[in-house]
Amino acid sequence: MTVIDLHSHTTASDGTLDPLELCLRAQERNVHTLAITDHDTVAAHHFLLQHTTQVKLQLITGIELSTTWSGAEIHIVGLNFPLNHNDLTMVVKAQSDARRRRSQHIAQRLARRLSQWQGEQIFQQVLDNAIAQQKNSPHGFALHPDEIQIGRPHFARWLINQQYCQDMDSAFRKYLDNSKIGNLKAFWPKMSQGVAWIRALGGIAVLAHPGKYRMTATKLRALIKDFKLAGGHAMEVQGANHSHSQIQQMANYCREFNLMASQGSDFHNPNYPWADIGRLPPALPQGLTPVWSNWGIGEAADKNTTRQTLL
Ligand code: AMP
Ligand code: MN
Ligand code: MN
Ligand code: MN
């Protein structure tokens, strides 16, 4: 069986394994093809270019862009673009700047609620924490402080450290999710912009975890239609967030809208065994075109692939 996992995170964003640790864990778990898709950064891929001898699986370039559509936050996974594409730096910079401004606003808003704190103080502590965490990287992976991608999980950890919350779940429920003060969407580009960027890079645009958006069937269908009209190529059918019936539902949408199918664990942390790297059902539902159909999987495996000719 060929294990293909096209959605995963490292310490370059909000994962807990450094890029090489992730590859080694994926190899141990028999993953053949892996896409690292950190939130709004490709730093893990640049780092791995220096460790090609240790990476013994087919590595696919990837990124997960935060975007908005009709008031909802929608994630677009981009796959298999050339790492040296001229426009990639621009896309990453636009998203990183948006993320940095957003995290400063989140800090300000939390400070309004937790009145003994200044926003700048919270932001600095969250950033310092992220910098300190990088020191644990067994393979010396560390980002410049300006490049560190601060997200809501970093604020959740701060809220836990300060004993405002007991765990990640309650931090999100109380401060960071849905309509709570720490959830700001206004900074992100439109979904159609995210899709256009991935297309401009020559990548495959994938609608990430459609089952996770907690939408009515009518709204989800409208989202998928708009994604297709924006030039989207594929959607995630299988993943840790999808139940058996959601897999069937997403498979039907792929057939209806002529989208390819993707799959990925959305791995963040080895302590979440339900979303471990490579933990996916053995095969996609019948009659779907996988995004990897012309990546040469199963043939003489070409390891360290960062670019394949597609479509
Ligand atoms: P951000 O990228 O800053 O919007 O943060 C979103 C990330 O937070 C997601 O990619 C998940 O990794 C994480 N996340 C979202 N909801 C929860 C939750 N309830 N508990 C733990 N982590 C969460
Ligand atoms: Mn995440
Ligand atoms: Mn996501
Ligand atoms: Mn993800």
- Residue-wise pLDDT tens digits, 145-186: 999 989 999 999 999 999 999 999 999 999 999 889 999 999
> What confidence score (pLDDT) does residue 299 get?
60
- Which residues, judged by CB distance below 6 Å to any ligand atom, belong to the binding site of ligand 1? 14, 39, 66, 151-153, 168-169, 172, 268
Bridge partners (DSSP) of residue 263 are 238
Work out which ligand 1 atom sits closest to the CA atom of 73. 4
Q: How far is CA 74 from the centre of its chain?
A: 11
Together in a domain, 262 and 245: yes
Q: Could you tell me the residue range of the domain that residue 212 belongs to?
A: 3-93+190-310
For the chain, what is the mean pLDDT? Answer: 94
The secondary structure of residue 266, as a DSSP letter, is: -
Pairing of the two strands 31-35 and 58-60:
parallel
Confidence at 240, pLDDT banded by 50, 70, 90: confident
Count of residues in the chain: 311
Last residue of a domain, one of 129, 152, 185: 185
Q: How many domains does the chain have?
A: 2
Which parts of the chain are beta strand (E)?
Answer: 3-5, 31-35, 58-60, 62-69, 72-79, 204-207, 234-239, 260-264
C-alpha of residue 209 to centroid of ligand 3, in Å: 7
Together in a domain, 24 and 68: yes
User: What CATH number has the domain bearing residue 39?
Assistant: 3.20.20.140
Among 166, 172, 185, the mutation site with the greatest number of ligand 1 atoms within 8 A of its Cβ is: 172
Last residue of a domain, one of 136, 165, 185: 185
Confidence at 298, pLDDT banded by 50, 70, 90: low
Together in a domain, 84 and 206: yes
- Residue-wise pLDDT tens digits, 24-64: 999 999 999 999 999 999 999 999 999 999 999 999 999 99
Together in a domain, 254 and 305: yes
Q: Is the pLDDT of residue 83 over 80?
A: yes
Together in a domain, 115 and 253: no
Together in a domain, 118 and 131: yes
- Residue-wise pLDDT tens digits, 244-268: 999 999 999 999 999 999 999 999 9
C-alpha of residue 200 to centroid of ligand 2, in Å: 24
Q: Is the pLDDT of residue 310 over 50?
A: no
